[in-house]
Structure 1
C-alpha cells in the first residue's frame, strides 16, 4: 500500500491525510480532542441502527438543545441538512471561530 501512495500524485497524497483520519467534527469541521456519536435519526424516532455522525461535544449538545427529535428525524437527518438549519446558523458561526472543547449540558434550559 505504501508503494501505491508514493507512486501517486501529490493530490492523492494530500487526500489520504484528509481530516477524516483525525478528530474532525462532522458539523463544525473543527479538529477537537474527543468526538461523540450522533444518530442522524434519533433513536427515539427509530434511528437506533441508522446512520451516525461524529460530532464534538459542543455541537452535539447544541443540536439537541436547539432542535427536537421530531425535527431531527424529519428535516435534519443528514449533516448537510444540519449545516443548513436556520436555528443552528448563529451557533455554527460562533463555534467555527472558537477553541471551545466542552460546553456544559444545557438540555434542561429550553
Structure 2
C-alpha cells in the first residue's frame, strides 16, 4: 500500500474482504498501514466497496496517510499509539 519494504516484525496479513464477511484472500501490509485501514473503514465498507488495495488507496484519508508514511523508514511504527496502549494497560 505504501510501497515501502516490510520488515518481518512489521508484517500483517490484511483480508481484502474481512473474514467476518467470508473473505479468504490476503495481502501483506505494514502493521501501521493495516491499523490505519481498520481505523478508517468498517468491515462492511471493506467488504462492499474497498476490497482491493487500489480502491482503498483511492480514499482521500488513506491517500493522506500514505503520503505521510511513505517517507518513514520501513520499520517505523506509531510509538505514540503504542505508548497510549501501554498506558491503558497500566504499563
TM over 0.5: yes
**Matched residues, number:** 78
Which blocks of at least 5 consecutive residues in structure 2 are unaligned?
85-91
- Report which of the two structures shows the higher radius of gyration computed on alpha carbons: 1
Corresponding residue of 2:18 = 42
Instruction: Report whether the alignment pairs 1:91 with 2:73.
Output: no
Give the equivalent residue in structure 1 for 2:27. Answer: 53
**Residue 91 of structure 2 is aligned to residue 101 of structure 1:** no
- Could you say which structure has the greater relative contact order, defined with CA pairs below 8 angstroms and 6 or more residues apart? 2
Query: 3-state SS of the aligned residue for 1:80?
Result: helix
* TM-score, normalised by the number of residues in structure 2: 0.76
Residue 80 (structure 1) shift: 0.9
Runs of 4+ displaced beyond 3 Å: none
Q: What do you get for the CA RMSD once the two structures are aligned?
A: 1.7
